[in-house]
Amino acid sequence: MTATALSLAGAVRSGERSAREVVQASLDAIAARDGEIHAFNTVTAERALAAADRVDARIAAGEDPGPLAGVPVALKDNLCTRGVATTCSSKILDGWDPPYDATVVSRLAGAGAIVVGKTNLDEFAMGSSTENSAFGPTRNPHDLTRVPGGSSGGSAAAVAAGFVPLSLGSDTGGSIRQPAALCGVVGVKPTYGRVSRYGLVAFASSLDQIGPFAATVADAAACYDAIAGWDRLDSTSITDPLERTSAALGRGVTGLRVGVVAEMTDERMGIAPDVLARTRAAADALASAGATVEEVSVPAAIYGLSAYYLIAPAEASSNLARFDGVRFGLRVDAPTTAEMQRATRTAGFGPEVKRRIMLGTYALSAGYYDAYYGKALKVRRLILRDFEAAYERFDVLLSPTSPTTAFELGTKTNDPLTMYLNDVCTIPSNLVGHPALSVPYGTGSDGLPVGVQVMGPALSESLLFQVAAALEGSLA
């Protein structure tokens, strides 16, 4: 599917193409190539075609089904869909069909979009390569020997492969932006609280945020506009007025102050030379387009990794306590409830999830709380201070999204710490709750996609899309 979401919606709304035809084309593309990519855990063909027929019926009746009318979308499989399996790519949710839809799912449907399936992820969104899935890895559509990144690797691959023009992922430490970079698509982590988390299976509640993947900046903005906004079902949902980001895309970057983060463009931090070269090219392009570009130091940002790998597991160890074989999913029978819970969790969780649950439990346990979790929260405050200082001088910040292009399957699975280093540039935005996006900016020395990250202060989504549109335009 090479057409953009906006052009498809335009064709469907004008009656030029039927939603059924558009959805069928998406399903055909999936059937033809997902066998080798494995972006999807579940394809909901019948439901999708039925939903497409409802959109077509509304158009025939002279109604407007919404700005994303007939657009096929894919959902990360940790977003609840009523009556459709939601697995988190974990054995522990085996057989669970949620009794409700996530708010983002309702909002996409309200905008006329049509869900074609649920995409693969690292189990419970814990990982950077989608290799931690109980159902096998997803492969990068640009090179099947490489990972798509993670944890939202299935959603990124589904857009990169042309299966769908739009998909949703969740980003706790880079899980939208890093796979977007590795798959050569746009990926957006909104401001914490901008998009309702209701119906997102929680990993780390103070860090998780849902956001879109798209092939173009305009499509990503349109999808963000459809899902963002206050929701009474999420108590951390922000009530500030919402700006339509789609309106900001053509504003250009003249006069904008862009800071290139020194600590994230340093080869000593493990950033590959070809990725650095593309980041500098992006900075040059913004300068040529009229922005003021300077280097800026955000000294505490590099400590984000250490803080994150204590805070996120701590929150996860608490959130994942609910998977105990009582209310949903897997139960391994045993004579007593305690034995049943232990047997269920031992059989149901994969190795990375167990590792993080234990790390978090340890960081929160008596005698270690102050040394680990408490200290990590202080580092988090320092990082926020440093970003706030940077935003006194700059409108947006620029960095690579991922230290390298897509790596080969199996090369980092035996060493968790090496895998975690993938997130060094993306984690700080989650810790401070600020928005950030990844936009494709050419290829590395291996011919694989490179993404650059644009970061901004809270609620600066319009500005980020505006800068991303300028970068996208500079490549055209």
Partner 1 sequence: MPARISRDDVSHVARLALLELTDDELERYTEQLGAILEHATDVEALDLADVAPLSHPLPVQNVFRDDEPGDALDREEVLGQAPAAESGRFRVPAILGEEP
List the catalytic residues. 76, 151, 175
Scan residues 97-136 and list those touching partner 1 (CB under 8 A): 97-100
Contacts with partner 1 in 217-236 (CB under 8 A)? 232, 235-236
What are the phi and psi torsion angles at 96 (to 5°)? -90, 125
Show contacts with partner 1 in window 71-100 (CB under 8 A): 96-100
When asked if residue 377 is in the footprint of partner 1 (CB under 8 A), the reply is yes
Quote the CA–CA distance of 141 and 103 in Å, as a whole number: 30
H or E, element range at 440: strand 436-443
Count residues binding partner 1 (CB under 8 A).
71
Taking the least distance from each CB to partner 1, the nearer of 244 and 378 is 378
DSSP one-letter code for 408: B
Q: Out of 306, 411, 443, 474, which residue is the one contacting partner 1 (CB under 8 A)?
A: 306
The terminus-to-terminus CA distance of the chain in angstroms comes to 20
Which listed residue (420, 441, 455, 467) binds partner 1 by CB under 8 A?
Answer: 420
Q: Give the pairing type, strands 72-76 and 257-261.
A: unpaired
Among 181, 218, 238, 397, binds partner 1 (CB under 8 A): 238
Among 147, 379, 409, 427, binds partner 1 (CB under 8 A): 379
Q: Does residue 241 bind partner 1 (CB under 8 A)? A: no
Identify which of residues 112 and 313 has a Cβ nearer to partner 1 in the complex: 313
Distance (Å, whole) CA 165 – CA 71: 8
Q: Which helix (H) or strand (E) holds 210?
A: strand 209-214
Nearer to partner 1, 83 or 290 (CB): 83
| Contacting residue, 166, 307, 436, 439, with partner 1 by CB under 8 A | 307
Bond preceding residue 151 cis, omega within 30 of 0 = yes
Tell which positions 428-447 bind partner 1, by CB under 8 A.
431-434
- Asked if 376 is part of the footprint of partner 1 (rule: CB under 8 A), the reply reads yes
Q: Could you give the 3-state DSSP secondary structure of residue 384? A: helix
Closest separation between CB of residue 114 and partner 1, Å?
23
Binding residues for partner 1 restricted to 355-374, rule: CB under 8 A: 355, 357-359, 361-362, 365, 367-368, 371-372, 374
User: Which stretch of DSSP H or E encloses residue 43?
Assistant: strand 40-43
Residues sharing a CB contact under 8 Å with residue 307, sequence separation 6 or more, in sequence order: 376, 377, 379, 380, 383, 431
198 binds partner 1 per the rule CB under 8 A = no
Q: Are 364 and 317 in contact (CB under 8 A)?
A: yes
CB 164, min distance to partner 1, A? 28
Using alpha carbons, select from 154, 174, 152 the residue that is nearest to residue 455. 174
326 lies in the site for partner 1, by CB under 8 A: yes
Q: Is 413 in the site for partner 1 (CB under 8 A)?
A: no
Given the rule CB under 8 A, which of 47-55, 125-133, 243-251, 303-311 is the region that contacts partner 1? 303-311
Question: Sheet holding 114-119: strands in order across?
Answer: 40-43, 114-119, 72-76, 166-171, 209-214, 186-189, 436-443, 449-455, 396-400, 257-261, 292-296
Q: Which stretch binds partner 1 (CB under 8 A): 16-24, 145-153, 257-265, 302-310?
A: 302-310
Whether the CB-CB separation of 179 and 206 falls below 8 Å is answered with no
Q: Which is nearer to partner 1, 247 or 326 (CB)?
A: 326
CA distances to 19, 66, 384 from 59, in Å: 10, 10, 48
Q: Which stretch binds partner 1 (CB under 8 A): 145-153, 159-167, 246-254, 330-338?
A: 330-338
Per rule CB under 8 A, is residue 381 in the interface with partner 1? yes
> Which CB atom, from 42 or from 279, has the smaller least distance to partner 1?
42
Please tell me what DSSP assigns to residue 215.
Answer: S
